[in-house]
Amino acid sequence: MARRTWPILDPALFVGSLVVYFAGTPLGLDRVAAASGVAASLGATSPEPGTRLALLVLRLGALFPLGELAARANLGAAVLAALATALLGRLCADLLAAFRPPAHARQGPRDFLHEPFLAAGAALAGGLSLAVFQTGTSAGAASATLALLAGAWLAALPILRAAGRARHGFALAGLSGLAAGVDPVAGPLLWPLAFGLWLWELRRGQRWPLWAPLLFVAALGGSTLASVAPAGNPVDLRHLLAGLWPAGIHDHLALVGTAAELCDELGVVGSLLAGLGTLALLRRAPLVAFWFGFTVVTALLLGYWPAQSGLHFEATRAGLPAALMAAAVPMSAGAAELAARLGRARMVAAIVLAGLAVVSPVLDGGTSRWRRDVHGPERLLEHALLRAPLRASVDPGTAEMDGLLRYGAVLGLRPDLEIVRRK
C-alpha cells in the first residue's frame, strides 16, 4: 500500500479551518430558511428528502451544552465544513504527489517540501471563500454535501489515474449512494461520472465493479428510507424520487453571473492559477481535468449567488460552494506548475503563491462574514407569536414561516398554539 504523503496535513487543515469557522459561526439563526432544518433535527417536523445526513450531525450537535439550539446546529455544520476542507487538502496533496517527475539521483524528499504549502493554500482558498464560509457556518445540508463530495473526489482520484484498488471503488460507490442523504446537487455531480468510471473499470477487467452496484443501492436505499421513515405518512414515490434530483438548471445569463461570482470569490491570483492548472491537467491527466471541469460547470448551472435565500434555493444551496471547492484542485496544480519552474526558489514561490491565493477569498465580504445578523429571524418569530391569539390554530402560510414557528415550538415558545399547514 502506498505511503500517504504529508500525513500531518489533514489534521492541521481540519483544526485550522475549524478555528476560523468557529470564529465566524453566528450564535443564532442567520436566515429564516435554516429554522426548518433545526426543528427537524429534533423531530419537531418531518425532514425534507436529502437532508438526513446533515440532520444526524445537527442532532448530535444538539447534545452539547453550547449556546442555544441554532448555535449548536451552526457549530455542527462548521465541523462538517472543516472536514470537507481537510479532505480537499488531502486530495490536492495526493494529486501533487502523483504529478512528481520520475525519481533520479538529483531528487530527494527535500525537493518536494513545497507541496504541502500549495495543497493547503488551494484547500483554504476554496474552503474559506465567501460562499463556502457562509454555508459552512449555517445550519443546513450544504456542509454535509461538501464533505461527501470531497470524500468522493478523494476516492475517485486513484481510479482516474488507473491506480485505483477495490477499496477506492467501494468507497466511491458507497458515497455516491449516500448522496441521497444530502442536497440534490450531489446526484448530478457524482452519479454520471461514477457510472462512467464503473463502466471503464469493468471493461478493464477489474472485479470490484461487480459488487459496487450492491453497495450503491444499499447506501441509496438506506439514505432514502431514513428520509421518509420519520414522517409517518404514506410515501409518495414520485415526490421521493423528485427530491433526489434538482428541479432544473439556470439559463445562460444566470450561469455567466454565477461564474463571475466564482472568479470574484477566488480572486485574480486564484482564477489565474486555476486556469493554468486546468491546462496542466489536460496535458498530464485528461480524465482528472474532465472530472473537475464537469463538476465546476454542473455546479455553476445548479448553484446560485449567496445573496439569494429562501427554501426555493435551499435544494441548490451547495452548488456554488461545490464549484469553489472543485476549482481548488486545478488551482493547486497550477501553483505547482509555476513553482516547479523556479528551481531552488520553488519553496519561497510556493509560500508566496499559497498566501496570495488565500488572501483574496478570506478578505472577500469584509466584516459581514464575521458579523451576520441573527436578530431578523428572531424579530419575525416574535412578531408572529405576538399576533397569534391564545390557543389558536395558526396557518403559517409559507414553508419558511412553518419552519420558523416549529422552531419556536421546539424552544418552548407559545405551547398553546397549534401549527396547521393548509395546502
Helix (H) or strand (E) holding 418: strand 418-419
pLDDT string in tens for the chain (423-residue length): 356 778 899 999 999 999 999 998 888 888 887 787 777 766 555 556 556 777 777 777 666 776 778 888 888 889 999 999 999 999 999 999 888 776 654 666 676 788 899 999 999 999 999 999 998 898 878 899 999 999 999 999 999 988 888 899 999 999 998 888 888 888 899 999 999 999 999 988 888 898 999 999 888 877 766 655 544 444 555 555 555 666 655 655 677 888 888 999 999 999 999 999 999 999 999 999 999 999 999 998 887 765 555 555 666 788 899 999 999 999 999 999 998 888 788 889 999 999 999 999 999 888 888 888 788 888 888 888 888 888 878 877 777 788 788 888 877 888 877 787 665
Tens of pLDDT, residues 139-177: 878 899 999 999 999 999 999 988 888 899 999 999 998
Tens of pLDDT, residues 338-385: 988 887 888 899 999 999 999 999 998 888 888 887 888 888 888 888
* Greatest Cα-to-Cα distance within the chain, rounded to the nearest angstrom: 83
Q: Is 47 helix (H, G, I), strand (E, B) or coil?
A: coil
Nearest CA to 338 out of 406, 278, 273, 253 is that of: 273
> What pLDDT shows up at residue 105?
47
Residues 135 and 318: beta-carbon distance below 8 Å: yes
Q: How many CB atoms lie within 10 A of CB 158?
A: 18
Cell numbers 439563526 correspond to 29
Give the HSE-up count for residue 99: Cα atoms under 13 Å, Cβ half-sphere. 27
Residue 59, CA distances (Å) to 37, 62, 139, 223, 373 in order:
10, 5, 11, 16, 24
